[in-house]
Amino acid sequence: MTLQNALAEAVVRAEEAVNEKQTEALEQERRANAELREMLEGARSESTLLEDRLTNEIVELKGRLEKEQAAARNTKEEMTAEINVWSYYVQSNNRHWSRSWKC
């Protein structure tokens, strides 16, 4: 074997070793990318679930708020009516007492 043949074989082996290392590195990058894609998909799924849960919670809270506002309006109307009745009663009694004192 000549020196030139030995050099050619060494170059071929070196190129094969470089190609093998590049292939291993590329495969490792593919695995890492696949893992990242899975993590991203999982995060998207979690995000969608969280968004749905929070949207439902907002709808529920708005419904409760509407009910509480309606109850507050009803209570206000009842109290206003009661105040009006008492106000009328007091005014009627004042008129009655004023007339009775004029006699």
**In terms of residue numbers, what domain contains 52?**
1-103
Number of domains the chain contains:
1
- pLDDT reported for residue 56: 98
Task: Tell me the pLDDT tens digit for each residue of 50-77.
Answer: 999 999 999 999 999 999 999 999 999 9
- pLDDT reported for residue 96: 66
Kindly give, in sequence order, each residue whose CB lies less than 8 Å from that of residue 71, ignoring residues fewer than 6 positions away: none
The rounded percent of the chain whose pLDDT value lies above 70 is 91
- When the pLDDT of each residue in the chain is averaged and rounded to a whole number, the result is 91
* Sign of the alpha-carbon torsion through 60, 61, 64, 70: negative
